[in-house]
């Protein structure tokens, strides 16, 4: 072989061409010249390799790769996308399928969507409040609420081509669900009680399921709404059948939802068909994993919302439920550390639960203003520490285990606290059981 040239045969696009190439020039500089000699360059990356071998490193020369006279080289177009990685273990497939998402909220449309939902929620709350204090004919309000819900749901269905993203359709669907709940609450005349709440929750669940079918977007959010409405409907049915007080039903509902949050991962796996006893192809396993993750988000969001709502309702009607409401908010915030993919959900619901409980407690005991001021300052300082100081620190394994232990203790303490709130201990003591 000559020190300056190497006579080789280059196979490219089904043809063989004999060329004399510089032996001391890097492969990356040779490829454009070879493409020019073979009929012009293409707008794609190419690689040079021996027959049946890996590509030659672009920074090396033919001499460094041991290319001699008469060697057959293959010039092929390099794929733009790397080949999909294959995994030998199902756990690796699940971990790869749950990689952090890179999608972000649409900045331009998010403020409008939040404003529309806020206006709808405010109007619904005002209408519901007036139903408790003003005795009027509910028929006109019900008809108006039904009309708004139907119009919003129709607009969500027909706006598929009018809007590029799903944000507008999801917003309209949420507005429709909100006014469906108002219509269900006011459908029966009289001051709202458990039957009214049952009808409102049923209407909410039905509207959410219908919105999932016709809007074709926001399945996670709408499923969470339908699930929360279903749990509330079951609690309202129990209250209507037993005649129990609101704080009793609310405390038991809170306890049940806290337990359902813990079993939600296994439930999502069962609903998605994930089982260690079934051997699935990698593509199917990845698809079912993503489906299970979405269902887990819906399950935990729905249960957390009902737990916070029922705890706040119990604390509002009976001040003895304030400790349970505060504990519920703390348990939800502890889930932020253990479930990073749903940290925003638990953070928002937990913070809302604690702030609502603090407001109820402060209004119930106005004489303890200095103590509530100190408590508010302590909560603000704790929030600043968790948000700005703690992320820069590396907690020790003992500290992490300690936080896990606190979560387990708090969840275990919710059981006797809920029983005390609903008066179970007093009822057992009044039985005066004798051995």
Domain that holds residue 57: 5-77
Domain boundary among 59, 77, 95: 77
**Confidence class for position 43, pLDDT limits 50, 70, 90:** low
Same domain, 260 and 318: yes
Instruction: Answer yes or no: is 386 within a domain.
Output: no
- The dihedral through the CA atoms of 168, 172, 173, 178 has a sign that is positive
Instruction: Answer yes or no: is 377 within a domain.
Output: no
Same domain, 129 and 61: no
Same domain, 134 and 180: yes
C-alpha–C-alpha distance, residues 361 and 329, integer Å: 14
Quick: pLDDT tens for 163-220: 666 888 889 999 999 999 999 998 887 777 889 999 999 999 999 999 999 888 888 9
Same domain, 9 and 73: yes
Query: Domain holding 73: CATH number?
Result: 3.10.20.90
User: Which are the contacts of 124, defined by CB distance < 8 A and separation ≥ 6?
Assistant: 178, 179, 181, 182
Question: 10 Å Cβ neighbour count for 407?
Answer: 17
Same domain, 68 and 205: no
Where do we find the tokens 């009027």?
136
- The pTM of the full predicted model, rounded to 2 decimals, is 0.76
C-alpha–C-alpha distance, residues 30 and 151, integer Å: 66
Instruction: Answer yes or no: is 419 within a domain.
Output: yes
Domain boundary among 36, 54, 77: 77
Q: What does the DSSP assignment read for 271-332?
A: HHT--TTS---HHHHHHHHHHHHHHHHHHHHHHHHHHHHHHHHHHHH-GGGHHHHHHHHHHH
Same domain, 202 and 312: yes
Domain boundary among 56, 77, 98: 77
C-alpha–C-alpha distance, residues 435 and 414, integer Å: 29
C-alpha–C-alpha distance, residues 321 and 7, integer Å: 89
**Confidence class for position 34, pLDDT limits 50, 70, 90:** confident
Label residue 153 left, alpha or beta by phi (over 0 means left) and psi (-120 to 50 means alpha): alpha
5-12 and 72-77 strand pairing: parallel
Same domain, 408 and 265: yes
Same domain, 73 and 148: no
- Total number of domains constituting the chain: 2
C-alpha–C-alpha distance, residues 177 and 175, integer Å: 5
Residue 4 contacts residue 65 (beta carbons within 8 Å): no
Instruction: Answer yes or no: is 376 within a domain.
Output: no
Query: How many degrees, rounded to 5, is the angle at CA 413 between CA 358 and CA 246?
Result: 55
Instruction: Answer yes or no: is 334 within a domain.
Output: yes
Residue 37 contacts residue 8 (beta carbons within 8 Å): no
Instruction: Answer yes or no: is 289 within a domain.
Output: no
Quick: pLDDT tens for 381-400: 988 888 888 877 877 888 88
Tokens of 355: 């702030």
Quick: pLDDT tens for 277-303: 777 777 788 888 889 999 999 999 999
Across the strands, what pairs with 8?
Answer: 19
Tally the C-alpha atoms within 13 A of residue 225's C-alpha that lie toward its C-beta. 25
Across the strands, what pairs with 76?
Answer: 47
Tally the C-alpha atoms within 13 A of residue 108's C-alpha that lie toward its C-beta. 3
pLDDT reported for residue 107: 63
Residue 248 contacts residue 310 (beta carbons within 8 Å): no
Quick: pLDDT tens for 315-340: 999 999 999 999 999 999 999 988 88
Give the helix/strand (H/E) hosting 68. none
pLDDT reported for residue 2: 47
Q: Which of 186, 270, 265, 180 is nearest to 229 (CA)?
A: 180
Same domain, 215 and 152: yes
Same domain, 205 and 120: yes
Instruction: Answer yes or no: is 265 within a domain.
Output: yes
C-alpha–C-alpha distance, residues 150 and 104, integer Å: 30
Instruction: Answer yes or no: is 372 within a domain.
Output: no
Same domain, 72 and 139: no
Same domain, 235 and 175: yes
Question: By CB neighbour count within 10 A (0-12 exposed, 13-18 middle, 19+ buried), where does 317 fall?
Answer: middle
Residue 387 contacts residue 297 (beta carbons within 8 Å): no
| Beta strands across the sheet bearing 15-22 | 15-22, 5-12, 72-77, 46-50
Quick: pLDDT tens for 117-170: 899 999 988 888 887 776 667 788 889 999 999 999 988 888 766 666 688 888
């Amino acid at each position: 072989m000559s020190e300056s040239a190497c006579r080789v045969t280059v196979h490219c696009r089904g043809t063989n061409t004999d060329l004399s190439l510089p032996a001391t020039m890097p492969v990356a500089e040779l490829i454009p010249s070879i493409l020019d000699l073979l009929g012009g360059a293409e707008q794609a990356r190419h690689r040079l390799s021996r027959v049946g071998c890996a590509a030659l490193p672009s920074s090396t020369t033919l001499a460094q790769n041991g290319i001699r006279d008469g060697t057959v080289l293959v010039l092929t177009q390099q794929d733009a996308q790397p080949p999909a990685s294959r995994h030998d273990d199902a756990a690796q497939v699940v971990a790869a399928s749950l990689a952090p998402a890179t999608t972000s909220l649409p900045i331009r449309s998010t403020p409008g969507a939040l404003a529309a939902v806020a206006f709808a929620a405010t109007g619904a709350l005002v209408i519901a409040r007036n139903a408790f204090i003003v005795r009027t004919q509910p028929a006109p309000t019900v008809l108006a609420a039904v009309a708004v819900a139907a119009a919003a749901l129709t607009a969500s269905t027909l706006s598929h081509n009018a809007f590029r993203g799903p944000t507008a359709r999801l917003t309209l669907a949420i507005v429709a669900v909100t006014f469906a709940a108002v219509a269900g609450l006011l459908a029966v005349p009289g001051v709202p009680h458990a039957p009214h709440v049952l009808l409102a929750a049923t209407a909410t669940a039905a509207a959410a399921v219908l919105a999932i079918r016709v809007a074709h977007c926001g399945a996670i959010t709408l499923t969470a709404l339908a699930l929360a409405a279903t749990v509330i409907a079951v609690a309202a049915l129990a209250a209507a059948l037993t005649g129990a007080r609101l704080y009793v039903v609310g405390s038991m509902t809170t306890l049940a939802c806290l337990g359902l949050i813990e079993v939600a991962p296994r439930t999502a796996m069962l609903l998605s068909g994930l089982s260690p006893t079934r051997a699935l192809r990698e593509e199917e396993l990845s698809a079912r994993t993503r489906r299970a993750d979405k269902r887990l988000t819906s399950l935990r969001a729905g249960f957390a919302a009902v737990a916070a709502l029922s705890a706040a309702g119990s604390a509002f009607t009976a001040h003895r439920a304030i400790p349970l409401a505060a504990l519920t908010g703390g348990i939800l915030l502890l889930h932020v550390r253990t479930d990073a993919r749903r940290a925003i959900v638990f953070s928002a619901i937990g913070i809302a639960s604690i702030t609502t409980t603090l407001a109820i407690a402060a209004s119930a005991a106005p004489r303890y203003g200095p103590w509530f001021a100190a408590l508010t300052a302590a909560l603000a300082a704790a929030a600043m520490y968790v948000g700005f100081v703690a992320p820069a620190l590396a907690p020790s394994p003992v500290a992490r285990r300690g936080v896990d232990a606190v979560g387990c203790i708090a969840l275990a303490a919710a059981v006797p606290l809920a029983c005390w709130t609903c008066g179970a201990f007093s009822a057992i003591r009044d039985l005066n059981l004798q051995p």
